[in-house]
Structure 1
Amino acid sequence: MQILTADQAASLLKDGDTLMIGGSGSGHAVPEALIEALERRFLAQGEPRQLTSVHPVGLGDRGERGASRLAHAGLLKRVVCGTLVDSPPLAQMALNKEIEAWTLPQGALSQLTREMAAGRPGLISHVGLHTFVDPRNDGGLQGAPSDDRLVSLIELEGREWLFYKPFEVDVAFLRGTTSDEDGNVSMEHEAVFGDMLSMAQATKRNGGLVIVQVKRLAKRGTLPAKSVKIPGMLVDAVVVQADQPVTYQTAYDPAFTGEMRIPLGGFPRLPLDERKIIARRLAMELRVGAVCNVGSGVCTGIGLVAAEEDVLHHIVLTNEQGLIGGAPAAGLDAGAARNYSAIVDMPYQFDFYDGGGIDIAFLSAVEIDAQGSVNISRFANKLIGVGGFVNISQNARKMVFGGTFTAGSLQVACEGDRLQILKEGAHRKFVSKLQQVSYSGPYARERNQTTLFVTERAVFRAIDGALELIEIAPGIDLERDVLEHMAFRPVISSDLKLMDARLFRPEPMGLDADMASQGWPRHPRLAALVERQP
């Protein structure tokens, strides 16, 4: 193992290389110093050129950091990732068709990395069928035209599957916390583990170069063996960056790194606005013992509501980065979590998700059509991608979408137990046609999935191929505030209810008392054993 500067590490890339980058979202274990050095070299020397960049999770602060540093004409030929929402300059290059951009399911890319490490031919998965990732639609291609096909449709045992092609990785940029003199790397100050081990293995199998950015160096033999996440046999070089933060927003937080738990009173409190109303109504779908996924955007408020209501101990909240328990973080820290009980490598989290392990999933929705299909990947001349959305939404037993009823400068107020629309959003979300299909309502119906749509003023459920309005906020006029802002007319429930008045009051709702009487669910065999005991 060699110790290099970031500039020395960047000098090792050659034209046409495939670069795999570890890390997640807003700076979680992102090797920023290495990416910055690559940008610096290109701007100074005009090389390397025509790289393929592969990173399962979006990387960036929605500004100039992370993958945005690669947004220079000639530097990239192709980017393959879960989402580009964190790197707007790169998304714009894709929209301008200056580069190929493939936005594929985060879980598929994560699991594919592990398949590559094992030398298997690729990943076979049902995830992505009947969405824009399906090759019968766009095959996940969002940018410049390409003769390649990264996803193909195959049939096995009479069933349709998607086949995701592997990559031959030349260089991997990874990140950890501590490296010893033999290159063994631990991750004690990281918020997530991500795919670091699988990425290192996949790169080494291809004869590639593994470079790890770390915070500090330790003497040979002093790292506890069980703390090593990337064994030294897989590491070619390390770059020391002493000031690397936990996330782009947070320099250091021991609750994010799992070194301590904070009191529930230490969690941020959401102001009473449309986002909190939605997060509260989403939280009312929680059930004792439920294993849940909490997505980004408004849904991250569920963890904060659950902390405020003191119900975190009744449920298991997870996110796709591998965190289990506690409360997922919000804003630019999203992807991290506080007070979690366990953390696993990301491919294993997606194995659990794809196998149907999620009882209830909470995700955002940007466009919704009359059949209950959803678009979150491309809209209003914005390229977003899907992240873990497809893995989660296609495999959860119950799917709950959350978001404001309209978008763009919406303003509401709570007056007593009533909701008032002060300024309507400029853009409709319930539309006649989606720009892309990220979630197929008809496919969900085939699989008997329960699906709800929660907004600040109305709640819908998908039933018999249509949307049915089942709740409306007190103070809201059905025609003026709901139906006039939909491009289609939903079914109106004969038992249309008012949304719970507690949603619109400033004090806690009392969810702990609601959930305390439910009892923790037991496996049927354990339940039978308890019944037999005197």
Structure 2
Amino acid sequence: MYEIMTADEAIRLIRDGDCICVNSFVGIENPIELHEAIYRRYQKMQSPTHLTMISSAGFGVWDDEHNAEGYIREGAVDKLICGHFGAMLSTKKLVLEDRFEAYNLPLGCISHAIRAQAGGLPGALSKVGLDIFVDPRKEGPGINRISIDDSLVRHVEVDGEEFLYYKLPKINIALIKGTAADRKGNITFDDMFMSGDALSICQAVKANRGKVIVQVDRLVDTPSRPRNAIIPGCLVDAIVVAEPEARNEAYTALTGSFEIPYEEWNTWSERLDSVSVKQSKNSTVANIIGKRASKELRVDDIVNIGIGIPEMVSRFARKSGMLDMVTLTVESGGIGGFPVSGQAFGAMIGAASVYDMANQFDLYDNGGLDVCFMGALEVDKDGNVNAHRGPGAFAGIGGFANITAKTPTVVFCFSFTAKGLEVSQKKGIVEIEKEGSISKFVDRVKSISFSARRAIANGQKVLYVTERCVFRLTPKGLKLIEVYPGIDVQKDILDLLPFEVEV
């Protein structure tokens, strides 16, 4: 039977050495008050300590002084297992200093491993991750020198087919954020942007005889409608009521509390842009890439668009009218609306459906998308892509590996060079005014996020769209298939590549 508690009371349920699973998505829907209570207790008692923390998509809030950053920084955590670390500003720096063990697994594979544990299985099989960095035959999931746990990912063979087997430590504490708890303890997510892995996490924790702690905005007397109760009260141990921070009215567009027709998506997106810190997307380079990449969309496509330069695809799809003829998706579980970026990444404007994250990755892993548009840090001569780890920095693979593993058409959107690149376009003529000092094309990528060999074996169509040309993946490597007007093939492309390509 659940109890209503303060955050400080609820956190006493956590013991040293516990394995905590946090339901969140990058920077949204974090149970912030629960994290703050852990930090208060740790500062006072140096407990709980030796914690293992698991989250499919990470649990930061883009602020290194809030959420879990404090107690992680001061030593409460021994091991982190996350799909993405982007919103965990100080934590991702400490990882590279070998302060604690840290592992990066594909977001969807963590989600599926949590669901497997909920069903009494020790782990989950997946073809996602084969031949990329997480594959133990390559690098394995460890991010730093002390992360040597080889039990998290294993290469196995079943009925003559190869898979990766993802196995998480047994989860015995759940930290969840919901909207409301009714008098039976049922938890609804009405004002939330997503439900993520919430139900699977709770089921896994109860199977492991652990404790489920849920932070909600309010208590309600009226029982929830059965289909709206994401977490049944019988799975909940502690409910903490924490009045939510005031949100800008623009964020009301993301809860699904009222209908937002297609014609209003852009208006709401602009309102969100004005209150969310994000990179400007109005550069000439991004415009050229987005416009060309958007031509790969077809009527009735089911689509995923990555953050950064790929977001420009949606801008040009809207201009052409194609955006209203495709279905967009986002990793957190949204389908049929318009994904937002910036600090609210994971939410959707006008979503038709938002279901559990594991279900979304069922769709992705089995080739349910028609086309995806992703960014890239590096591309090598074979067509392999590094999108998760730069020099001295990393954000993590997130859903990238799941999305690109089996999607029939994969379009990488990135500039040919970086750091100082200046490009102009007049009347369709592209001119490289100043070349960037860092080439995105390398002889061998530092770490593999996308395996060209695997894509060829799968029969996927793979394009690499830049601001000056387009390459296509072939069994022999990259093939130059388009050069934009104004671009000198030899000087602006071939002379800058560290390898030969078919033209």
TM-score, length-scaled by structure 1: 0.87
Q: Which residue of 1 aligns with 2:132?
A: 131
**2:302/2:329 contact within 8 Å kept:** yes
Distance of 1:318 and 1:416 partners within structure 2: 34
1:261 matched to 2:263? The reply is: no
Measured in 2, the distance between the counterparts of 1:180 and 1:25 equals 28
Q: Secondary structure at the match of 1:120?
A: coil
Q: Is the 8 A contact 1:307 1:327 kept in 2?
A: no
Residue 494 of structure 2 corresponds to residue 483 of structure 1: yes
For 1:138 and 1:71, the matched residues in 2 are separated by: 25
Distance 1:475 1:39, change over 3 A: farther
The question of 1:289 aligning with 2:287 is answered no
- What residue in structure 2 maps to residue 161 of structure 1? 163
C-alpha contact (below 8 Å) 2:184/2:223 kept by paired residues: no
Aligned pair count reads 487
The aligned residue for residue 121 of structure 1 is: 122
Matches within 5 A, 1:240-389: 240-244=241-245, 253-259=251-257, 260-262=259-261, 263-266=264-267, 267-268=269-270, 271=282, 273-389=284-400
1:76 counterpart residue number: 77
Aligned to 1:495: none
8 Å CA contact 2:372, 2:411 repeated in 1: yes
In the alignment, what sits opposite 1:510?
Answer: none
Aligned pairs for 1:30-45 within 5 A? 30-45=30-45
Q: Which residue number in structure 2 is paired with residue 181 of structure 1?
A: 183
* Cα shift at 1:154: 1.1
Q: Tell whether the 8 Å contact from 2:265 to 2:349 is kept in structure 1 after alignment.
A: no
Deviations 1:176-206 (A, max 9, x none): 1111122111111111121111111111111
Q: Check if 1:391 corresponds to 2:392.
A: no
Deviation at residue 60 of structure 1 after TM alignment: 2.2
Query: Of 204, 207, 215, which residue of structure 1 is paired with 2:206?
Result: 204
Q: Which amino acid aligns with 2:260?
A: R
Q: Deviations over 1:95-120 (max 9, x none)?
A: 11121111001111101111111111
Q: Residue 400 of structure 1 aligns to a residue in which SS? A: strand
User: What letter corresponds to residue 2 of structure 1 in structure 2?
Assistant: E
- Shift of residue 426, structure 1, vs aligned partner: 2.8
Describe the SS at the equivalent of 1:399. strand
One-letter code aligned to 1:230: I
In structure 2, the CA distance between the partners of 1:481 and 1:52, relative to structure 1 (3 Å rule), is: same
How far the C-alpha of 1:400 sits from its partner, in A, is: 0.9
Closer, same or farther: CA 253–457 of 1 in aligned 2, 3 Å: same
Whole-Å Cα distance in 1 between the matches of residues 471 and 348 of structure 2? 30
Q: 1:63 Cα deviation (Å)? A: 3.5
Matches of 2:168 and 2:246, distance apart in 1: 32
Distance in 2 between residues matched to 1:330 and 1:487, nearest whole Å: 34
Deviates more, 1:403-412 or 1:391-400: 403-412
In 2, Cα distance between equivalents of 1:88 and 1:426: 27
What's the C-alpha RMSD, in Å, of the aligned pairs?
2.0
Matches for 1:438-453 after TM superposition, within 5 Å: 438-453=449-464
Distance, in Å, in 2 between the alignment partners of 1:204 and 1:83 is 26
Question: What is the SS of the residue equivalent to 2:79?
Answer: strand
- Distance, in Å, in 1 between the alignment partners of 2:85 and 2:77 is 14
For 1:418 and 1:224, the matched residues in 2 are separated by 59
Offset at 1:148?
4.2
Alpha-carbon separation, structure 2, partners of 1:44 and 1:281: 57
Q: Deviations over 1:14-50 (max 9, x none)?
A: 21111100010122x2112212222232233322211
Tell me the distance in 2 between the aligned counterparts of 1:253 and 1:90: 27
CA distance in structure 1 between the aligned counterparts of 2:370 and 2:150, rounded to whole angstroms: 37
Distance 2:384 2:476 in 1: 10
- Correspondence 1:91 to 2:102: no
Q: SS state of the match for residue 71, structure 1?
A: helix
- Whole-Å Cα distance in 2 between the matches of residues 488 and 201 of structure 1? 51
* Shift of residue 326, structure 1, vs aligned partner: 1.9
Task: Indicate the residue corresponding to 1:511 in structure 2.
Answer: none
One-letter identity of the residue aligned with 1:383: F
Q: What does residue 4 of structure 1 align with? A: 5
2 CA distance for matches of 1:213 and 1:150? 29
Checking the alignment, whether the CA contact within 8 Å between 2:265 and 2:350 is kept in structure 1 is: no
Residues in 1 aligned to 2:37 and 2:154: alpha-carbon distance in whole angstroms: 36
Sort the Cα spacing of 1:92 and 1:261 in 2 relative to 1 into closer, same or farther, 3 A.
same
Equivalent residue, structure 2, for 1:425: 436
Alpha-carbon shift at residue 485 of structure 1 (Å)? 3.3
Q: 1:238 to 1:355 in 2, by over 3 A?
A: same
| Change beyond 3 A, Cα 1:31–1:11 | same
Q: Which amino acid aligns with 2:107?
A: Q
Aligned-pair CA distance for 1:293: 1.5
- Compared CA separation, residues 326 and 42, structure 1 to 2 (3 A): same
* 1:190 equivalent in alignment to 2:189: no
Instruction: Look up the SS of the partner of 2:254 in the other structure.
Output: coil
| 1:372-419 CA distance string (max 9 Å, x none) | 101112221112221111111111011111112222243333323223
Equivalent-residue separation in structure 2 for 1:256 and 1:45 (angstroms)? 39
Q: Distance in 2 between matches of 1:61 and 1:409?
A: 30
Compute the displacement of 1:252 (Å).
5.6
* 2:66 is equivalent to residue 63 of structure 1: no
Secondary structure of the equivalent of 1:491?
coil
* Higher mean displacement: 56-65 or 395-404: 56-65
Aligned partner of 2:276 in structure 1 is none
The answer to whether the 8 A contact 2:39-2:68 is kept is: no
Identity over the aligned pairs, expressed in percent?
Answer: 36
Are the equivalent residues in 2 in contact too, given 1:215–1:244 (CA < 8 A)?
no
- How far off is 1:12 after superposition? 2.7
